[in-house]
Amino acid sequence: MSVRARARLRAVPDGRGGTALPVLESAGPLALRRTRSPHPPYARVTVVGAMSAPLNGDRLAIEAEAADGARLTVDAAAATVALPGPRPDADPSTYTVDLTVGEGAILHWLPEQLVSAHGSRLHQTTRVQLAPTARLLLREEQILGRHGEPTGALTTRLTVHRAGRPLLDQQLAYGPDAPAGWDGPAVLAGHRAVGQLLLADPLFEDAPL
């Protein structure tokens, strides 16, 4: 039986120079834990896997909001491993991340790697909404197959909107469901790990890198 779960968190200024978490709702395999932050103005939330997931057919989602003026870091206790589960012929699993960052707020979204195990099929979607003065640091890393095995089928899409206008929209696909050439010399060239680090800051409007 497939799992359907949606976890939610919301960060707001606490009025004392720090950040409070009025909403911290875990669900299914997505356990959200407040952990100690090395930077006191920031609240820190760690995603802990409470069970093996996603398996083919699962529907997982996380919603995170840093309200106006909040400072939030979200990380993970371990890598996420996409697995085929007991029904390899099931529909692909989905993992949706919705991030909202308000005026003057800062969000550091720093999960651990996503491992695409052989036989798994996963569609991961990350959607980000930034206010005009919001700041974002986002990391994504994918490992294509565990040691000694070929990759599963993995599709990822990342969209970022700032002040309601598109800032970034990209989609990547790997594995047996991907178009031909995904592992060719112009793309991965035999490598098994991919990743990106995205920094969005309103200061870049006046002083681009």
Digit-coded pLDDT (tens) for 26-65: 998 999 999 998 888 999 999 998 777 899 999 999 999 9
Res 207: pLDDT: 67
Digit-coded pLDDT (tens) for 77-113: 999 999 998 776 778 999 999 999 999 999 999 999 9
Residue 176: partners with Cβ closer than 8 Å, 6 or more residues away: 153
Amino acid present at 60: L
Contact present, 97 and 68 (Cβ < 8 Å): no
Res 20: pLDDT: 96
Residue 209 pLDDT class (50, 70, 90 cuts): low
Q: pTM of the prediction?
A: 0.93
Residue from 59, 61, 50, 48 nearest 2 by CA: 59
